[in-house]
Each structure stands twice: as C-alpha cells, then as structure tokens.
A = this chain, B = another copy of it.
C-alpha cells in the first residue's frame, strides 16, 4: 500500500489504539469496543478500513467468534526537512535480501538458524539493539543531508529553493544531460529547469555543451579541458 493511504489510516487515534491492542492479542469486536470505549458500529467501520488496506485480517474460532489480528509487517518512514517532505512505506525485505551488497553499511548481528531458546532470545536482543542503532543512523544521515544541502545553497548562492538546484547539479554531476532529461528526472517543468540552468550558467557553475548541460568544476581546474 502507498504511504499516503497508510498515513490516512494511521492519522486516527482510535485506529492506532486498535492496532496496538491487536499487536498484543487477537480480539473480537465487543472486546475492542469495550477496551476503546467506542461503539461497536464505529469499531466495525475502523476494522473494515484496516482490513481493506490489508493491515489486519480475521479468523473464526470454534465458537464461531470472529477474531481480528494484524496481517503482516509494514513499515512507514516520513522525513520532514526544509529541503524535502518524503514518506515511504514498504513491506519488510524477505530473508534472502542480501545485506552484504550495501556499499556504505556493514551489519554485525548474531543470527543463526537455531531453535535454541537462549540463542533466540540473544538474537532478539541483538536485533532490537540494531534496530535502535539504525534509527539513530537514519537521523544522523538526515542531519548530514541538511548540512550538505545548506552548504550547496551557500555555494550556488541560492535561497530557499535550493533543493531543486542541488538535485539538478547532482543529476548532471555524473554525465551531461539535456533539459528534457533533467525535467523528467527531477519532476519539474522544462521551462523551470531551463531557467535555473541559465541562472547557474550566469554564475559560472554549469555550462551548456553539445553533449548537454554539465558542471564547470572541471573547467576551473583545467582551463583548456
């Protein structure tokens, strides 16, 4: 499911309380209604929305009572910063995801294919610590990204719209690109892209060549390049 739909669902206090309750144990409507102090009718409506989104599902026990439980893992991340507002949701990667392919990241956790209770509890502790460390690292990265974007703004001499300048520069850093390609890549109108490039060309930051727009940084070090 997309992050907007997930944010709409989680933006309701009672639905969050239902999820918190179901994460402890499966419940039927009357239980939820009594716990929340909300009418069964309202609970049923919340459950319907959560079920439609695939967040919860139900099963019927021997007494033909319908129990609801959380269906699957979902993860949502939202970043708000002066340089961007981004939200993404995702299902956890399956175990075959190869963490060793990461270029900037190394993980070190005990994890063996074990059924020994003590080892499992040890793995649980490690994974919970790692989860915390990854959260800290994400916040650190977000802070650094902001610093870098601040410095790029200063460098390019732009004001508050600097994110779009940084995106343009980052995009042509590896190879020269046309206005059309850039417009598609950073999702901005062609005329906006053209205008920004022209203003940076005036500042001597970028230049237009027959291969497309490129940074002039190399030109500075190699005047005849």
Contact = CB atoms under 8 A, between A and B. Distances in A.
Interface string A33-54: 0000000000000000000000
Contact of A97 (B72, B109, B140, B205): B140
Contact of A142 (B73, B116, B136, B149): B73
A11 interface: yes
A100 B46 CA distance: 44
Contact of A104 (B7, B10, B75, B108): B108
A106 B105 contact: yes
Interface string A133-149: 11111111111111111
A82 B78 contact: no
B70 A136 contact: no
A13 interface: yes
Please report whether the interface of chain A is mostly helix, strand, loop or mixed according to DSSP.
helix
27 contacts: A4-B13, A10-B87, A16-B85, A16-B87, A23-B81, A69-B160, A70-B82, A73-B142, A73-B143, A74-B78, A76-B77, A77-B77, A103-B133, A104-B109, A105-B106, A105-B108, A107-B137, A117-B156, A118-B217, A121-B166, A121-B215, A123-B148, A124-B148, A130-B141, A131-B145, A134-B137, A135-B138
Given A75-B77, A107-B137, A118-B173, 17 more contacts: A9-B11, A10-B87, A19-B85, A20-B85, A24-B164, A25-B161, A55-B80, A75-B79, A92-B146, A93-B140, A93-B143, A103-B108, A105-B105, A105-B108, A114-B151, A121-B166, A123-B144
